[in-house]
Amino acid sequence: MKKLLYITDQDEYMDHSFMAPLFEKYLNQYLTVDIVFFTEFKSDFERKNAHRFTMPTRYKDVLLDELNRNDVAIESYAYVMVRNDIDIMKLVLAEKDKYQYKTVFRLSSPKRRVKIRCCIAEGGNTLLDKVTDKFKTFSETKVINMCDAFLPTSESMHKVFFPNVTTKTIICPPGIDPNMLHPNIQHKGEEKRFFYAGTLDKVREFETVLEAFSKVESDSWKLSISTRDPQYALDMIKQYKNIERNIEIHNAKTRDELLDLIAKADIGVALLPDYPVYNTSTPVKIFDYYTSAIPCIMTNSGHTNKIFTDCHDAWFSKFERDDIKEKLEYIISLSKEAIAEVGVKGQKRLLDIRNYEKIAEDIAIQLEAL
């Protein structure tokens, strides 16, 4: 079986919920996948297991040599994939002729653009950042075009952020793990329970969602929020006194803990502003919700409406207070059975078209064809 070396830009202690099922479980059926993580907290190379390696960040500039020195034979790999780090990609390309591997650049998200959008939300001056981003994108495009393949999260991400990349493109989208579905726990309360998982900050403008909830006439609902910064959430909620008692805050430490919380809800919330950093790929939280067959209210965008159908396997809304309010009131008026049926249909839809098992097979076939 051919081997793939996947060099991440991630710390060993980060949540690898996307990487684990796709690269470590399903792609491993077609390729032997070894993964390199980086750490600021250790001074020496470490084998976490047979296929997971941890490398001190100080060795990034001599990464391949250091891997070889620790008996990770670079010449044994048919493919070397680099996630997001263009400097490491340059190093890998420089050694390509020596080791005869195929090179792949994986773009998981447009991180610079996210920072610029955050700066705009904070009221900062982004002129210099935008100019810098333009030149960096030009330089990175040249590097990516030297690779054998480019793996963006979506075709939209390719077109919007790297439109001049012309090398072979293999889409690597988020998906649902067919062997890790989470039981949906039906609560006995009459209220409809909504759940939001993820970061809260100015750029996500969650106040728009809270304003919509504050205008809903019915009081027969609850909203649970799981976020890494509970204090930020509490400070935000204090501005909406009339619904404060309907909202509770959580801080799920692990993916399993998060899925347990989601499974107790009725409806997932994936409403995000209509910015390219959000609407060029399907939010991962949507897949977390449907893992438990929890139907979702989501922003109507080119990505969501190509997967789901409004009022059939999901609910769409513009990212506007009144539109969100109207859709929330409609959902609250439904029976719990009708809501659960929407979730079952949505889960089936994702298992049909965004299934990690199928995604891995497609990636393996396209890598083999390079």
Distance CA 226, CA 247 (A): 11
Q: What is the mean pLDDT of residues 98-110?
A: 93
Residue for token pair 């982004």: 126
Asked if the model's pLDDT at residue 312 lies above 60, the reply is yes
Distance CA 110, CA 158 (A): 10
All domains of the chain in start order, with CATH: 3-175+355-368 (3.40.50.2000), 192-353 (3.40.50.2000)
Confidence of residue 76 (pLDDT cuts 50, 70, 90): very high
Q: What is the mean pLDDT of residues 141-160?
A: 95
Instruction: Specify the pLDDT at position 223.
Output: 97
Contact 367, 31 (CB under 8 A): yes
Burial 148-164 (b: 16+ CB within 10 A, else e): bbbbbbbebbbebbbee
Sheet holding 296-299, edge to edge: 247-250, 221-226, 192-197, 267-270, 296-299, 315-317
Instruction: Specify the pLDDT at position 73.
Output: 96
Check residue 241 and report its DSSP letter: G
Instruction: Specify the pLDDT at position 117.
Output: 59
Asked if the model's pLDDT at residue 96 lies above 80, the reply is yes
Q: Residue 90 — φ and ψ, nearest 5°? A: -60, -45
Instruction: Specify the pLDDT at position 253.
Output: 85
Residue for token pair 């493109």: 169
Express each pLDDT in 154-181 by its tens digit. 999 899 899 999 999 999 999 999 998 9
From the CB of residue 12, how many other CB atoms can be counted at a distance below 10 Å? 20
Asked if the model's pLDDT at residue 182 lies above 90, the reply is no
DSSP string of 46-112, one letter each residue = EEEETTEEEEEGGGGGGHHHHHHHTT--GGG-SEEEEES-HHHHHHHHHTHHHHT-EEEEEE---HH
Q: Which amino acid is at 8?
A: T
Express each pLDDT in 22-71 by its tens digit. 998 999 999 999 999 998 888 899 998 889 999 999 999 999 999 999 99
The alpha carbons of the chain give a radius of gyration, in whole angstroms, of 22
What would the two tokens of residue 268 be? 């997932």
Contact 66, 83 (CB under 8 A): no
